[in-house]
Amino acid sequence: MALLKISEPGGKATQPAHHLAVGIDLGTTNSLVAASCGGGVKPLPDAEGRYLLPSVVQYRENQPPLVGAQAKFNTATDPANTIVSVKRLLGKSLSELTALGHFLPYQFDANRDDSSPAIVTVAGIKDPVRVSADILAELARRAEHCLKGKLEGAVITVPAYFDDAQRQQTKDAAALAGLNVLRLLNEPTAAAVAYGLDSQDQGNIIVFDLGGGTFDVSLLSLQKGVFEVLATGGDTNLGGDDFDRLLADWIRSQANSGNELDAAATIRLLHLANDAKHRLSDAATIDLTYQQWSGEINNEQFAELCDDLIKKTINTCRRVLRDAAMTVADIDNIILVGGATRMPVIREAVTRFFEKQPLTELDPDKIVAIGAGIQADVLIGNKSAENFLLLDVNPLSLGIETMGELVEKIIPRNTTIPVAKAQEFTTFKDGQTIMSLHVVQGERELVKDCRSLARFELRGIPPMVAGAAKIRVRFQVDADGLLGVSAEELSTGKMAEIQVKPSYGLNADAIEQMLQSSQDHAHADMEARALKEAQLEATQLIDAMNSARKIDGELLTEAESERIMDAVSQLQNEIASGNSNQIHALTERLNRVSGDFAARRMDLHIGKALRGESIEAVEKSAD
Ligand code: AMP
């Protein structure tokens, strides 16, 4: 897959003024803003010199919300009004969140429709877009204060596996915060940009990003400063927070604390577990005290406790390698991103699997924001020479339903985006004036096994015989991963299009499941496809035979007619049988018994045509 070079509209060749643009890493636990200042892209600190802004918002009565460290401090005392890990809520409905089983100490307004979780706070109803907007606005204020000017644009990072709904809500939040979004950039992509600038590595790189709530693995190929994303994988519901939860459960079990905990006590216990996890990054064994209990835990015990989570991350690495048809021997470097990669248990597991020490030169918390800042600088037009962008890939194939409920893949999975691809389709029935288009996503061969994204219709196709109309269907995935589909009838230019914004999309687990099931069912799917195609071919032949008998029935003797009728009815009966070999055999048989009839029809029609032409020719020569 070749990397395309694209020029962005903002990237004019000569831009005299320096434009203010930032890169924002909108994280589950912490967020960060970086910008080009003083000869390089750097994270910007707050008034107290802190870089990480805890992604926590506390809503208060008749006062503006508190965002960051102070809000985080208040989570234990005011859990219902203090929103943490809001990134996990983006693009999801309340019922989806409930199904995921997250512990959420908030009150939701159940009278709202299920489109977006409505959190009831003392400052009114807040949805995840509003909460994210408040975090972004705080970062924008910090940047404008540091840079002493008005921001003109921002690049905001999202996990590679964010679906359309999650990306869209991130963009909505930025708009609500008054930011001009230059681009949403996948987090591992931003990390690669940051390392590419600093260390000019060559070869194949794994970006292993374990944040507070999300996990992404990307395989990038880097050649002479140009990156190509070869494969991605991940899980939007796996992160450092999950390690906290396991450790909290373990502490409770050690303390024999059987009582139900209220929201505030749960948060206090999670803080204790989080602190213990951090201390385990600096010491092999640590002391712990909870209620009446005192004890210790070492990194081996911690690794055992979190074995399932660690295995999950390594299995994802394995699948990413398989997707790119590589082995660990092909990997030259591993970049660790996200605060949770500071855990020795993760570093050891990664080192063991890849048989190599990962790169840890850059601060794993700051890499993504720095990469986004570099991209922002390019997109706003501050860089004149190299306005080339690293591109991302779409995680699942996108296609359209065709006759027989089969999927025609138009943009295969792992295609570099932005991308536009068109394919021509035709009508199935004589005189057909409407074509229904069903856009689907997934790796399976049958529509019922894929995910339905959208349906729309192209109307006003001029009536023609089946197969004569030419409908060009165009799929376009923009740089933010959003899909647009159009259909155009080529003779009239009649057009219909749709922007695909599914209300709630796939999370990484669902993507993983879809990929797994496509592998598990590969053989069955091929058979199902073969059957559908055989059924379609048989139906078309029977239709053609019936209409030929209507037009030229006099060319058949009674015995021939009976033989053909018999072959038609046998084939007709077999179509529903589900045996594609038998359908093929009977289709062949109908072709054989009607062979002479077809030849006679051809003679007759050619003869007619020739007679017509010779008469015309005679008339012409007589003139
Ligand atoms: P991020 O979303 O990248 O800000 O990741 C934050 C996650 O990294 C949280 O789960 C933190 O507890 C975790 N984290 C940060 N520092 C450390 C550390 N020194 N050791 C272990 N985990 C850490």
What's the confidence (pLDDT) of residue 397? Answer: 86
Mutating to test ligand 1, I would choose from 51, 342, 345, 348 the residue with most ligand atoms within 8 A of its C-beta, which is: 342
The span from the CA of 441 to the CA of 438, in Å, is 10
Residue 30 CA to ligand 1 centre (angstroms): 9
**Which residue's CA lies nearest to atom 20 of ligand 1?**
278
Answer whether residue 503 shows pLDDT above 70.
no
> What average pLDDT is seen over the chain?
84
C-alpha to C-alpha distance for 21 and 373, rounded to whole angstroms: 7
Residue 534: CATH number of its domain: 1.20.1270.10
The residue contributing the CA closest to ligand 1 atom 4 is 30
Could you identify the atom of ligand 1 that is nearest to the CA of residue 282?
Answer: 19
Task: State the Cα–Cα distance between residues 223 and 533, nearest whole angstrom.
Answer: 43
Q: Residues 379, 501: one domain?
A: no
Distance 168 CA to ligand 1 centre (A): 26
Task: Judge if 147 and 230 occupy the same domain.
Answer: yes
- Do both 251 and 297 map to the same domain? yes
Question: Over 50: is that where the pLDDT of 157 sits?
Answer: yes
Catalytic residue, chosen from 127, 134, 164, 209, is: 209
349 and 426 co-located in one domain: no
Q: Which atom of ligand 1 is nearest to the CA of 274?
A: 12
CA gap 552, 586 in Å, rounded:
23
Q: What is the CATH number of the domain that holds 290?
A: 3.90.640.10
pLDDT for residue 372 is more than 80: yes
- Residue that terminates a domain, selected from 305, 325, 353: 305
Residue nearest to atom 1 of ligand 1 (CA): 211
Query: Ligand 1: which of 26, 28, 29, 275 to mutate, judged by most atoms within 8 Å of the beta carbon?
Result: 29
209 is catalytic: yes
The residue annotated as part of the active site, out of 127, 138, 172, 187, is 187
Query: Residue 425 Cα, ligand 1 centroid: separation in angstroms?
Result: 51
Same domain, 403 and 495: yes
Task: Please report the pLDDT score of residue 228 as a whole number.
Answer: 67
* Whether residue 13 has pLDDT greater than 50: no
How many angstroms does the Cα of residue 352 sit away from the middle of ligand 1? 21
Determine, yes or no, domain membership for 224: yes
**Residue nearest ligand 1's atom 7 by CA:** 212
pLDDT higher than threshold 70 for residue 512: no
Task: Give the least confident one: 302-311, 345-354, 391-400.
Answer: 391-400
Q: What percent of the chain has pLDDT over 90?
A: 40
Q: 298 alpha carbon to ligand 1 midpoint, in Å? A: 18
Q: How many domains in the chain?
A: 4
C-alpha distances (whole Å) from 284 to each of 266, 287, 342 are: 26, 11, 13
User: Could you give the CA distance from residue 216 to residue 161 in angstroms, rounded to a whole number?
Assistant: 7
Alpha-carbon distance of 474 to 331, in angstroms, equals 36
The predicted model gives 392-415 an average pLDDT of: 82
**What's the start-to-end Cα distance of the chain, in Å?**
64
Q: What is the dihedral of CA 551, 553, 556, 559, to 10 degrees?
A: 140
Residue 614 confidence (pLDDT): 39
pLDDT > 70? residue 490:
yes
Residue in 87, 92, 171, 532 annotated catalytic: 87
- How does pLDDT run across 605-616, given as a tens digit for each residue? 766 655 544 333
Tell which atom from ligand 1 comes closest to the C-alpha of 31: 4
pLDDT exceeds 80 at position 199: no
Per-residue pLDDT at 58: 97
Q: What ligand 1 atom has the least distance to the C-alpha of 281?
A: 20
Instruction: Compute, in angstroms, the gap from residue 295 CA to the centroid of ligand 1.
Output: 23
- pLDDT tier, 617 (very low <50, low <70, confident <90, very high otherwise): very low
Residues 181, 55, single domain; the answer is yes
pLDDT at 15: 41
CA dihedral 522, 524, 529, 535 (to 10 degrees): 170
Contact 282, 256 (CB under 8 A): no
Q: How far apart are CA 56 and CA 82, in angstroms?
A: 7
Domain boundary among 471, 505, 539: 505
Whether residue 207 sits in one domain with residue 254: no
19 touches 378 (CB < 8 A):
no
- CA 44 to centroid of ligand 1, rounded, Å: 19
Q: 472 pLDDT exceeds 50?
A: yes
Higher confidence at residue 480 or residue 421?
421
What is the pLDDT confidence band of residue 20, given thresholds at 50, 70 and 90? very high
- Please check the confidence at residue 507 and state whether its pLDDT lies above 60: no
Residue type, 340: A
- Residues 201-225: what's their mean pLDDT? 81
Q: How many CB atoms within 10 Å of residue 527?
A: 13
Shared domain check, 251 and 233: no
Tell whether 603 is covered by a domain.
yes
Confidence (pLDDT) at 23: 98
Q: What is the pLDDT of residue 193?
A: 83
Q: Residue 14 above 50 pLDDT?
A: no
Q: Domain residues for 250?
A: 240-305
Distance CA 398, CA 458 (A): 19
**What is the structure's pLDDT at 438?**
92
Report d(CA 43, CA 36) in Å as an integer.
9
User: How far, in Å, from the CA of 492 to the mean position of ligand 1?
Assistant: 58
Q: Which atom of ligand 1 is the closest one to the Cα of 339?
A: 8
Residue 428 within any structural domain of the chain: yes
- Tokens 């910090």 belong to 142
Higher per-residue confidence, 163 vs 233:
233
Domain assignment present for residue 13? The answer is no
* Assigned domain for 518 exists: no
Percent of the chain predicted with pLDDT > 70: 86
- Stated pTM of the model: 0.61
CB 3 within 8 A of CB 228: yes
Closest ligand 1 atom, residue 241 Cα: 10
**Which protein residues touch ligand 1 with a CB less than 6 Å away?**
27-30, 211-212, 239-241, 274, 277-278, 281, 338-340, 342-343, 365
CA distance 278 to 404: 56
DSSP 356: S
Between the CA of 343 and the centroid of ligand 1 the distance, in Å, is 8
Is 488 in the same domain as 601?
no
What is the rounded distance in angstroms from the CA atom of residue 236 to the CA atom of residue 262? Answer: 27
Say if residue 80 is exposed, middle or buried (CB neighbours under 10 Å; 0-12, 13-18, 19+): middle
Q: What is the mean pLDDT of residues 446-469?
A: 87
If asked whether residues 558 and 468 sit together in one domain, one would say no
Of the pLDDT bands very low, low, confident and very high (cuts 50, 70, 90), residue 93 is confident
- Which pLDDT score, from 0 to 100, does residue 609 have? 57
623 pLDDT above the threshold of 50: no
Confidence of residue 224 (pLDDT cuts 50, 70, 90): low
pLDDT band for 102, please (50, 70, 90 cuts).
low
CB atoms closer than 10 angstroms to residue 39: 6
> Predicted confidence band at 197 (pLDDT cuts at 50, 70, 90)?
very low
* pLDDT higher than 60, residue 3: no
Q: Is 512 inside any structural domain?
A: no
Helix, strand, coil in percent for the chain, rounding step 5: 40, 25, 35
Residue 449 lies in a domain: yes
Q: How many residues comprise the chain?
A: 623
The pLDDT assigned to 550 comes to: 85
CB–CB of 209/198 below 8 Å? no
Q: Are residues 348 and 209 in the same domain?
A: yes
* 288 C-alpha to ligand 1 centroid (Å): 19
Choice from 236, 343, 346, 368 to test ligand 1 binding pocket (greatest atom count within 8 A of CB): 343
Q: Which pair of tokens denotes residue 25?
A: 């890493």
Contact present, 500 and 480 (Cβ < 8 Å): no
Are 26 and 87 in contact by the 8 Å Cβ rule? The answer is: yes
**Closest residue by CA, ligand 1 atom 16:** 339
Confidence band for 43, pLDDT divided at 50, 70 and 90: very high
| Closest ligand 1 atom to Cα of 277 | 21
543 is catalytic: no
Query: What confidence score (pLDDT) does residue 123 get?
Result: 95
Whether 514 is in a domain gets the answer no
Choose one of 253, 288, 305: the last residue of a domain: 305
Better-predicted residue by pLDDT, 574 or 23: 23
- The model's confidence at residue 540, banded by pLDDT at 50, 70 and 90, is confident
Flag whether pLDDT at 80 surpasses 70: yes
Q: Which of 24, 25, 26, 28 to mutate to test the pocket of ligand 1 (most atoms within 8 A of CB)?
A: 28
**Residues 291 and 429 grouped into a single domain:** no
348 alpha carbon to ligand 1 midpoint, in Å?
16
Measured from the Cα of 213, ligand 1's closest atom is 2
CATH code assigned at 222:
3.30.420.40
Atom of ligand 1 nearest to the CA of 27: 2
